[in-house]
Amino acid sequence: MIELDGAIHQSQVERDAERDAWMQANGLTVLRFANASVLDDLPTVLTAIDSHLLKSCFPQEKDLE
């Protein structure tokens, strides 16, 4: 799951952590990015998403042992 966080998330850190823990416990991965990062530096955000997907879909051989 990709989540974009605006200013409101600064005041609900505990709620977000609980939600993230629930999602992880149910097999979901949460990637969080600040809205400003998406607007100001989209290539870096896309690289981070791409990197995560590559690691998830094509694990290293050593990770399979």
Residue of 38 and 60 predicted with greater confidence: 38
Instruction: Give backbone dihedrals phi and psi of 26, rounded to 5 degrees, phi first.
Output: -105, 20
Q: Can you give the pLDDT at residue 9?
A: 62
Q: Can you give the pLDDT at residue 17?
A: 85
Measured CA to CA in angstroms, residue 40 lies from 7, 36, 44, 61, 62 at distances of 15, 6, 9, 36, 36
Measured CA to CA in angstroms, residue 17 lies from 9, 30, 51, 57, 61 at distances of 10, 10, 23, 25, 32
Which pTM value belongs to this model? 0.70
> pLDDT tens digit string along 7-59?
776 667 888 889 889 999 999 998 999 999 999 999 999 999 999 998 888 87
